[in-house]
A and B are shown apart, each in its own frame.
Chain A
Amino acid sequence: MTPAQVLPPRRLQWLAQAVLTLGCLGVDPGWLLGIFTLVLVLMAALKLLEARDRAGRRLVALLQLVGCGLLAAQQPDLLPSLLQLLAAVLSLAGLLQLESGLSVGWRLLLRRSLRVMAAALPLALVLFLLVPRIGPFGAGAGWPSGGAATGLSETLDPGSIATLVDNAAPAARVAFSSNRPPPPAQRYWRVLVHSRFDGSRWLRDGDAERAPSGPPPGLIPPPTAAADSDQVWLVEPSRFTAVPWSGTASPLDPSLRPQPTGELRLLRPALERRSYRLLEQPGPPGWQMRPPRIVDLVLPLDRNPRLLALGRSWGSLPDPLARVQAAERWFRSQGFRYSRTPGNLPEPNGLDAFLFERREGFCGHYASAFSALMRAAGIPSRVVSGYRGGAWVVPMSGASYLELRQSDAHAWSEIWLPGRGWLGVDPSAWLAGGAPASAAAGEAAVGPVLGPLRWLQRQWWGLDMAWSRWWLGFDQTRQEALLTWLLGGRRGLLGWLILAGVALTLGLTLPLLRSRTAAVDRPGRDLAVLLRLLRGMGIEPAAGETLEQLSERAARRHPALQEPLAELVRCHAERRFGAGMDPAAARRARQRWQYSLQLLIRRRREALRLTPDPDRDHP
């Protein structure tokens, strides 16, 4: 019969489990990895509930650690990362507790767990920094299905929107390595491209959310001289895998895929907060020079007759650019106004009603009408929706960033000109009453009235941004740069470098851990000090003599020392043989010992001063 296993209480492991569960709140169950994480965390909880032996409890700790890692794969932001770190430390403490028995206190366990983790960290960092990264083995597995959250709309149908509600919810944040925002005129962040037009609505390509295409993964551009002009984006959950970008940057993350239409798709669950890094590139991006398709010219001929007629009248101009300029002149001359409450447009000729009767609407109306007019004039065109402007926030700590809210959502047009490719045109800018309020918010760094909550949020986001820039920043590209800096062209030495790093960190951390684990025999050390003192006074311990007898002998020779010596003997007995003393009592005993020792030294000095030294008189 095995002796019944006495296991420490489960509190610590339950605490780790609770923190882990808290971290699971933001996980998207629509993604394979998300489901896997949730199942793993649930398994850990069930195992913890039923585990009766040490092996079971160890397994719980391992499951918790792996759960932390899986969460870290999905939520790299600051707050989730802190939660994951806490959960990892707690589960490690739970594991240590299993091995070290019952009598170890909470604080000591946590300290020990942190110490072990700190000892392992340099080693892990050596591996993290030096082991070459490889690209994913193949992507697209567990492709997330579209969810539902506020944001841009897949279908742009301005005619059906009577009132535009100002939604101040956060949409995205972007930080620039130059720490300067782009000029306001360039702050167009494209997200969705609507190419199909049915007379009133602009739609995205039908299979846009399902089958991601694009260049194969792993094509990371080599680090260039301008490698530090990068952007880090943090995007709130949305309905789309398409994420905002400037259109000219090149992605640094293999799960980012620029689409032929100019959308940028991120192969991550859209329901999570997403972050990614882009590298600003000077040349024109690939999608811009891609020739238009038939769908970019399709226009239903049975709707909006007046729009068709107007467009066709410009179509006779030989130069496509002249047609655009004609349209601009026409828009500027007609007295269009910006309105958030334009009311519904009548069917089926809604755009006719907007262009020739009401002449008021928001960005969607203008982009939609202008693109339709261009198609009628024979210029391939489409509508792009995304964000415009954004507020430049400089928090007290952390990184400065451009804050985009849902109210910064904007729509504009894109036209194809031969030889110049796709060009963005914002017809809302031609309005008589100036730029609309929401689109012009880019200039104002901080609004006049900022609630304390909003202020706090901005400070936190600043920290979050700094963390993301730092944490996302170390990717394959940066590692390549580091290795090139370390090794130059001699890549063959990398293996040796890693081995040397591991050996060095092990050699440095192990003695540290060892010296801490070696228990110090304090009473023994203190006793040696006392004996040395007594020896200095010419009192040698005799064979078989106890400390008590020795001190009595010393007290007989130096009566002044009797009191401290007696106290020292008492203290020593207490410290040496009082096994299982509680720490407070042990500390008190040690203090008493030190006090008595000081007293002894003082008395000894006085005694020596009183006794005339025979040598001193005759030098």
Chain B
Amino acid sequence: MRSAEGQRRRPWPERFGRVQQGERLQLGLRNLYIVPTGFGGLWLAGAALLLVVGIQTQRNGPLLLSYLMLALLLLALHLSHDNLQGLELSCGTPRAGFADEPLLYPVRLRSRCRREAVVLGLSRGDTLPPQRLDAGQTQLALPWRCGQRGRHGPGTLLIRSSAPLGLFVCWSRWQPPLAQTVYPARRRGPVGLVSSATARQALDPQTHGSSEGSEHWHDLRPHRPQDSQTRLAWKALAQGRGRLTKVFADSASATPRLSPAGGVPHERALEHLCEAVWQHSRRGACFGLELPGQRIPPGQGREHRDRCLQALALCR
């Protein structure tokens, strides 16, 4: 919906032109389009008015200014084109994000000279405000949104500029080749819980959260650097007993295995799982994931979380 809105907002010339494909895009004569802006048209009309006034009054002043405006128009045509010509675009490795939340798509720009007021945007997102690109390499993150999980391309990248005078708009369109992983949207709701100790039972995340609170630890062991800060025994630290990590009662024996809740549509169940994975991981809890045709053994940490989220994003 938002992307459609974004499409509608763009002026017509920028919806025109072949979308370039490929790993990287070097802007040049073959892939840059340039037309006068509305302001360029007005500018021409102003020059014409001055020409008429100059002819009618037989004065040199308006004639010269009129020709000067025409000359600026002609110069602006080249300068606007030069502002983008030679710029090289390539995409960085996109980091995954959640559906219905802002995603950032990394784009690398290489330029041999400084470029003024370059506007970049994705067809499925907003455009960035005009950027000045210094000589060398610049990394930009373009915002976009996606409503569906999976691996998705960010749509068409539009790069345009009307610098230096705003008389011409020069643009190019490119389809960045790398797809970005989109996790399901995070939505609170029931998830299925398969525990090695208990039978499969449905759990509400709120009650689930409070029952697994940081108070229910049964032992302390020395803190290791890779341990989560959330499991640090702050009270012990305050008492001067050094950095200790809480060992939870269920972290070893009763590790929950998250699975889609029954009676909930599949996609919705995945969204609930996504939220549950996120919350578990934030608390530093140990959890596993069981999906139809896929099973991720219990684990902890960022890598484990990302593996679970990836599985959620790509599961059928």
Q: Which positions in A face B, CB cutoff 8 Å?
A: 1-3, 5-6, 33, 54-55, 58-59, 62, 65-66, 68-74, 76, 81, 84, 88, 92, 95-96, 98-101, 103, 116-117, 119-121, 123-125, 127-128, 131, 133-137, 139, 141, 253-255, 268, 471-472, 474-476, 502, 506, 509-510, 513-514, 517-519, 521
B311 CB to nearest chain A CB (Å): 34
Interface majority SS (helix, strand, loop, mixed), chain A: helix
B111 CB to nearest chain A CB (Å): 9
In the complex the two chains form, is A99's CB within 8 Å of B164's CB?
A: yes
A266 CB to nearest chain B CB (Å): 11
Known contacts A69-B66, A101-B116; decide if A521 and B136 are in contact (CB<8 Å).
yes
In the complex, which residues of chain A have a beta carbon less than 8 angstroms from the beta carbon of B140? none
Question: Quick one: closest B residue to A120, CB to CB?
Answer: B71
Question: How many residue-residue contacts, CB under 8 A, span A and B?
Answer: 167
Interface majority SS (helix, strand, loop, mixed), chain B: helix
In the complex the two chains form, is B132's CB within 8 Å of A101's CB?
A: yes
In the complex the two chains form, is A506's CB within 8 Å of B58's CB?
A: no
In the complex, which residues of chain B have a beta carbon less than 8 angstroms from the beta carbon of A96? 164-165
19 contacts between A and B (CB under 8 A): A3-B128, A33-B53, A55-B39, A69-B46, A69-B61, A70-B62, A73-B57, A74-B57, A117-B72, A121-B71, A128-B60, A133-B55, A471-B60, A471-B61, A475-B58, A510-B78, A519-B134, A519-B135, A521-B136
B side interface size, CB within 8 A: 52
Known contacts A3-B129, A69-B53, A100-B164; decide if A120 and B65 are in contact (CB<8 Å).
no
Known contacts A119-B75, A127-B70, A517-B82; decide if A99 and B116 are in contact (CB<8 Å).
yes
Counting chain A CB atoms within 10 Å of each CB, which of B54, B60, B128 scores highest? Answer: B60
Q: Which chain B residues in 114-146 approach chain A with CB under 8 Å? A: 114, 116-117, 126-130, 132, 134-136
Known contacts A81-B61, A121-B71, A506-B74; decide if A62 and B43 are in contact (CB<8 Å).
yes
Known contacts A84-B61, A101-B117; decide if A127 and B163 are in contact (CB<8 Å).
no
In the complex the two chains form, is B55's CB within 8 Å of A136's CB?
A: yes
Expressed in whole angstroms, the Cα–Cα distance for A528 and B61 within the complex equals: 51
Question: Quick one: closest B residue to A96, CB to CB?
Answer: B164
B262 CB to nearest chain A CB (Å): 40
- Which of A88, A99, A137 is close to B162, meaning CB atoms less than 8 Å apart? A99
- Which of B38, B39, B59, B82 is close to A73, meaning CB atoms less than 8 Å apart? B59
- Which of B49, B72, B136 is close to A116, meaning CB atoms less than 8 Å apart? B72
Query: Told that A2-B126, A127-B71, A141-B56 touch, could you supply 11 new A-B pairs with CB distance under 8 A?
Result: A2-B127, A33-B53, A62-B46, A69-B46, A100-B163, A103-B132, A116-B72, A124-B68, A128-B64, A139-B56, A518-B113
Expressed in whole angstroms, the Cα–Cα distance for A116 and B64 within the complex equals: 16
Expressed in whole angstroms, the Cα–Cα distance for A135 and B52 within the complex equals: 10
**Is B254 on the interface with A (CB-CB < 8 A)?**
no
In the complex the two chains form, is B61's CB within 8 Å of A72's CB?
A: yes
Known contacts A65-B69, A517-B113, A519-B113; decide if A6 and B46 are in contact (CB<8 Å).
no
**Is B203 on the interface with A (CB-CB < 8 A)?**
no
B250 CB to nearest chain A CB (Å): 45
Question: Quick one: closest B residue to A139, CB to CB?
Answer: B56
Known contacts A62-B46, A69-B50, A518-B112; decide if A99 and B65 are in contact (CB<8 Å).
no
Question: Quick one: closest A residue to B111, CB to CB?
Answer: A519
- Which of B9, B74, B128 is close to A502, meaning CB atoms less than 8 Å apart? B74
- Which of A54, A137, A509, A513 is close to B56, meaning CB atoms less than 8 Å apart? A137
Q: Which positions in B face A, CB cutoff 8 Å?
A: 9, 38-39, 42-43, 46, 49-50, 53-72, 74-75, 78-79, 82, 112-114, 116-117, 126-130, 132, 134-136, 162-166
Known contacts A69-B66, A72-B61, A521-B135; decide if A134 and B55 are in contact (CB<8 Å).
yes
In the complex the two chains form, is B75's CB within 8 Å of A136's CB?
A: no
In the complex the two chains form, is B60's CB within 8 Å of A76's CB?
A: yes
In the complex the two chains form, is A66's CB within 8 Å of B50's CB?
A: yes
The 5 tightest CB contacts between A and B, nearest first, are A72-B61, A518-B113, A123-B71, A69-B50, A519-B114
Expressed in whole angstroms, the Cα–Cα distance for A519 and B114 within the complex equals: 5
Known contacts A55-B39, A95-B165, A128-B64; decide if A101 and B57 are in contact (CB<8 Å).
no
In the complex, which residues of chain B have a beta carbon less than 8 angstroms from the beta carbon of A103? 132
B186 CB to nearest chain A CB (Å): 22
In the complex, which residues of chain A have a beta carbon less than 8 angstroms from the beta carbon of B49? 66, 69
In the complex, which residues of chain B have a beta carbon less than 8 angstroms from the beta carbon of A521? 135-136
In the complex, which residues of chain B have a beta carbon less than 8 angstroms from the beta carbon of A59? 39, 42
Known contacts A62-B39, A101-B117; decide if A124 and B58 are in contact (CB<8 Å).
no
In the complex, which residues of chain A have a beta carbon less than 8 angstroms from the beta carbon of B46? 62, 65-66, 69
In the complex, which residues of chain B have a beta carbon less than 8 angstroms from the beta carbon of A92? 72
In the complex the two chains form, is B61's CB within 8 Å of A120's CB?
A: no
Known contacts A72-B59, A73-B53, A73-B57; decide if A88 and B166 are in contact (CB<8 Å).
no
